[in-house]
Amino acid sequence: MSRIAYNTVTLNADEGRSFNKQLFGLVGAVALSLGFTIGYIASSPASQSAWTAAVPLTSSRATTTVAPSVAVSRPRFPAVAAQQLDAADIAVPPAMLSMFSATSEPAVMNPAVSIMGLGAILFGGFMVVRGWFSKPTPQALLQTVDLHSAPAKSPKWAMASAVPNPSAGDGKTIRIATRKSPLAMWQAEFIESELKRMYPGITVELQPMSTRGDKILDSPLAKIGGKGLFVKELENALLEGRSDIAVHSTKDVPMELPDGLDLSIICKRHDPCDALCFPKGSTKATIDDLPEGATVGTSSLRRQSQLLLKRPDLKFVELRGNVNTRLAKLDSGDYDAIILAAAGLERMGFTDRVMPGKANIIDPDLMLPACGQGALSIELRSDDPETLALLQPLHHILDATTVCCERSMNRRLQGGCQVPISGFARLNGNELNMQARVGSISGAGPLIIKEKTIEIDMSKPWAEIKPIAEQLGTEVADMLLDAGAQAYLDEAYASNDAGVAAQMAANTGAE
């Protein structure tokens, strides 16, 4: 499955309404034009003459003095012309004069043609009015997909499958622990909207929290403890019973969870790739467009180790803060480019940062994504089966299969943001492929790349699919270790200022 499988488009309500108006307006205009055309042709002299010739003016039947409802009130053109002819100028046979005399019956229009014209006019008017007052398709209907549908065919923000019992949430309250960052709030609010869509009677409360990772912005994550700093406070709220669930970007969730908590729900995955973002107004699109020695903002050792192999001249600079802050730093000239997750840009509405044709989305063959990137996940207490049952429709089995495979590989390598590990699983029918890479934080050696493909029966229950996927991840990790990946891992863990920060200190003499 290629990256393109995740590039789907959803028609929003405004676009739907505009489209309906255009469609119905076009059909209505055509119908009105047809109706008036038929009416004009039917009332023209030529058509009247043809109709009169086809129906004799005299008949053996008795006639009535009541004019038919479709009679034309004015005299026929031939009769008027005959009256204006001068007998001295032209000789008209008596038979012809009697044929076109003013006393002949009024012209009669073809009833079938009249009905057709009137019908076309009425239909055209109806379509125009319908187009103008038509309502857009409800967004909820655009977002509803089947749990087992293929990602490439699903709407972009679709999450939940069909809910067997919408009343199951009546009277219940779900408290969601979330970070305060704009992206984290978007994710929590989206899960809130999905829960309310599935269960109209449910109450959802958001509990924004500031984590230690949000507060420490002057040190690299690899130095201060990794991405686990972003979830610690949320997990404490779960364990203490102050919150019911926590919503995460799966790539930020540590491989080992505290006792009593499970990452039970893996939602539908969005674009898992990275985006190379340039300052506003730039015409650059790819890594090849970067000038020699360009400054690239990223805090990811994974991204650094892979890009250094293609562009060893690049200078990497520490980049922290939320998406808005990072883009503002880019536009202010602090960097030639920065690297961000494509899914985060799309969720926050920064579609202008994605080039036409997604030219600045980095192909996974060049830079493999982080494990779980692009997928939202929900963490909850292991002893809360009632909440788990309510959340179950949000669990996307196809993407959960690939994400669990990736996380299993990373867990086996004891990975975190301190080490440059990348992993990406692809599911094609009943074939599950897992590729993983480990790089050197100094770029001194080549990437170690391993992959394996297995057959997996996706018709089985999730309880049977999950261990098979996790086993594949573990096997690929062992292949990496057998190829010498442990030396790279030891190098990373032995460095106090791993990766980007160490490089900057060496280049500038400061942290």
Q: Cβ distance 134 to 20 under 8 Å?
A: yes
Residue with tokens 């009632």: 386
How far apart CA 500 and CA 511 sit, in angstroms, is 10
Residues 6+ apart with CB under 8 A from 76: 45, 48, 49, 52, 100, 104, 106, 107
252 is catalytic: yes
Q: Cβ distance 271 to 346 under 8 Å?
A: yes
Residue with tokens 């867990």: 411
Collapsing DSSP states into helix, strand and coil, what is residue 392? helix
Residues 6+ apart with CB under 8 A from 256: 411
How far apart CA 303 and CA 284 sit, in angstroms, is 19
443 — phi, psi (to 5°)? 70, 20
Secondary structure of 267-335 in HEC code, one letter for each residue: EEECCCCEEEECCCCCCCCCHHHCCCCCEEECCCHHHHHHHHHHCCCCEEECCCCCHHHHHHHHHCCCC
Q: Cβ distance 323 to 348 under 8 Å?
A: yes
How far apart CA 142 and CA 10 sit, in angstroms, is 7
* Alpha carbon 175 to its chain's center: 27
Tell me the helix, strand and coil percentages in the chain, rounded to 5: 45, 15, 40
What are the angstrom distances between the C-alpha of 478 and each of 439, 452, 481, 483? 15, 11, 5, 9
Q: Cβ distance 49 to 108 under 8 Å?
A: no
How far apart CA 70 and CA 106 sit, in angstroms, is 10
* Alpha carbon 276 to its chain's center: 19
Question: How many residues does this entry show for the chain?
Answer: 511
Active-site option among 89, 218, 244, 252? 252
The bridge status of strand 337-341 relative to strand 274-277 is antiparallel
How far apart CA 258 and CA 381 sit, in angstroms, is 10
How far apart CA 385 and CA 244 sit, in angstroms, is 11
Residues 6+ apart with CB under 8 A from 254: 226, 227, 228, 231, 416
What are the angstrom distances between the C-alpha of 43 and each of 46, 77, 165, 425? 8, 12, 63, 71
Closest CA to 371 of 338, 339, 417, 310: 417
Query: What residues act catalytically?
Result: 252
